[in-house]
Structure 1
Amino acid sequence: QDAAGNDVASFAATAVTNNTPAPPDTTPPQLITTGDTTRPKVTGDQLVLSFSDTGNLDADATHKPANGAFTVLVNGVANAVTNVSVEAQAKTVTLTLSTAVSHGQTVTVAYADPTT
Structure 2
Amino acid sequence: VSGKTVTLTLSRTVATAETVTLSYTKPTGDNVVQDAAGNDAVSFSNQAVTHGTSAADTTPPVLITTGDSRPKVTGNQLTLTYTDASNLDAANTAAASAFAVSSAGNAAISVNSVA
Question: What is the TM-score of this pair, normalised by structure 1?
Answer: 0.52
Aligned position for 2:96: 67
Residue 44 of structure 1 and its aligned partner are, at CA, apart by: 1.2
Residue 70 of structure 1 and its aligned partner are, at CA, apart by: 0.2
- Equivalent position to 2:56, from 24, 29, 42: 24
In 2, the alpha carbon distance for the partners of 1:83 and 1:22 equals 32
Task: Confirm or deny that 1:52 pairs with 2:79.
Answer: no
Residue 17 of structure 1 and its aligned partner are, at CA, apart by: 4.8
- Structure number with the bigger relative contact order (C-alpha 8 A, sep ≥ 6) is 1
SS at match of 1:73: strand
Aligned position for 1:41: 72
Superposed CA deviations along residues 35-63 of structure 1, whole A, max 9, x for unmatched, are: 0x200010111100001111111011xx1
What stretches of structure 1 move > 4 A for 4+ residues in a row? none
Could you tell me which runs of 5 or more consecutive residues in structure 2 were left unpaired when the two chains were aligned: 1-46
Aligned position for 2:109: 79
In 1, the alpha carbon distance for the partners of 2:82 and 2:61 equals 6
In 2, the alpha carbon distance for the partners of 1:22 and 1:39 equals 28
Residue 24 of structure 1 and its aligned partner are, at CA, apart by: 1.2
**Amino acid of the structure 2 residue aligned with 1:25:** D
- Residue identity (%): 46
Which has more strand, going by share of residues? Answer: 1
Aligned length: 67
Which has more helix, going by share of residues? Answer: 2
Cα RMSD, aligned residues only: 1.7
SS at match of 1:68: helix
Question: What is the TM-score of this pair, normalised by structure 2?
Answer: 0.53
